[in-house]
């Protein structure tokens, strides 16, 4: 059993976000990067499956600021192999990242065959949650997302996955392996690993590097960002009162006055 986890670094929104001089992207050089929360849950779910089934666990990420810390932490938690993809510029689009990850999985020795690929269902800079389904499409694997629990049946190469829906509704699906799953939450909270253990991993674990093959979007439609702006403090709030028709009319007046309607 071979499980592969895809990790992504995202800006730490505790700090102020800065826009690059071009005005169409964040200035990632000025941002502190942290592991995406849902990817942390994907790693935890993979660790639980590794402990139950004796699986081999590989962790893969595209190179980014602070990614080494995330990979060493994954190794300290129990990952057998950690790898990053180098050679790309910062700020890959979601589609470019999916293509880079897919090609690396397909071409890099030892990553295939893989029985299960786990990654977070979404990230704060990719709320559409496209990485997992795009990777699944590239690798011709089935995909299922918004997963909160996994049970493997190794004898039949299948997995039972719990998928969450709005209003607390949950569904149980059986999916044939190999497959790609988008994890919303692991069955248990992500485990804490002592700093001393991470430092020990830094001395003993080698992060493997794979060279990026191409940045082509692969024919997927691209979304072009025309402009980004910082939020501007309004200074005051206007409370709209009256009948629904009056409130609606006033709201439309405000939006039209600001060129938004």
- How does pLDDT run along the chain (261 residues), one tens digit per residue? 999 999 999 988 887 778 888 887 777 777 789 999 999 999 999 999 999 999 999 999 999 999 999 999 999 999 999 999 998 876 788 888 999 999 999 999 999 999 999 999 999 888 777 899 999 999 999 999 999 999 999 999 999 999 999 888 999 999 999 999 999 999 999 999 999 999 999 999 999 999 987 765 555 556 677 888 887 776 778 889 999 999 999 999 999 988 886
Number of neighbouring beta carbons within 10 Å of residue 66? 14
* pLDDT at 143 (0 to 100): 97
Compute CA distances 108 → 83, 102, 112, 142, whole Å. 10, 10, 8, 21
Residue where the block lists tokens 């006033």: 250
Q: At what angle do helices 67-77 and 37-53 cross, to 10 degrees?
A: 30
Omega before 113 cis (within 30°)? yes
251 vs 258: CA distance, rounded Å: 11
172 vs 149: CA distance, rounded Å: 9
For the chain, the structural domain boundaries read 2-211
- Fold exhibited by the domain 2-211: Rossmann fold (3.40.50)
* pLDDT at 220 (0 to 100): 52
* pLDDT at 227 (0 to 100): 87
DSSP label of 232: -
- Where do runs of H (alpha helix) occur along 108-194? 131-139
* pLDDT at 222 (0 to 100): 61
pTM (predicted TM-score): 0.84
């Amino acid at each position: 059993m071979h499980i592969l986890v895809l990790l992504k670094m995202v800006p730490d929104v505790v700090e102020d976000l800065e826009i690059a001089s071009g005005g169409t992207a964040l200035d990632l050089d000025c941002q502190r990067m942290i592991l995406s929360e849902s990817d942390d849950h994907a790693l935890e779910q993979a660790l639980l499956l590794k402990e139950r089934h004796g699986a081999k666990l590989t962790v893969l990420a595209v190179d980014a600021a602070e990614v080494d810390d995330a990979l060493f932490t994954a190794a300290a938690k129990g990952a057998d192999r950690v790898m990053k993809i180098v050679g790309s510029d910062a700020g890959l689009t979601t589609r470019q990242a999916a293509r880079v990850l897919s090609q690396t999985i397909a071409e890099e020795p030892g990553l295939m065959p893989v029985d299960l690929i786990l990654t977070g269902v979404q990230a704060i800079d990719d709320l559409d949650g496209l990485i997992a389904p795009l990777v699944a499409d590239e690798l011709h694997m089935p995909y299922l997302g918004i997963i909160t629990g996994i049970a493997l049946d190794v004898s039949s190469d299948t997995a039972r996955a719990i998928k969450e829906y709005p209003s607390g509704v949950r569904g149980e699906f059986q999916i044939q392996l190999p497959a790609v799953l988008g994890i919303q939450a692991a069955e248990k909270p992500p485990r804490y690993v002592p700093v001393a253990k991470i430092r020990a991993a830094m001395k003993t674990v080698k992060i493997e590097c794979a060279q990026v093959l191409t940045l082509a979007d692969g024919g997927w439609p691209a979304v072009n960002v025309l402009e980004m702006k910082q939020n501007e403090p309004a200074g005051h709030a206007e409370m709209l009162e009256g009948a629904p028709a009056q409130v609606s009319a006033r709201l439309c007046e405000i939006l039209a006055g600001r060129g938004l309607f």
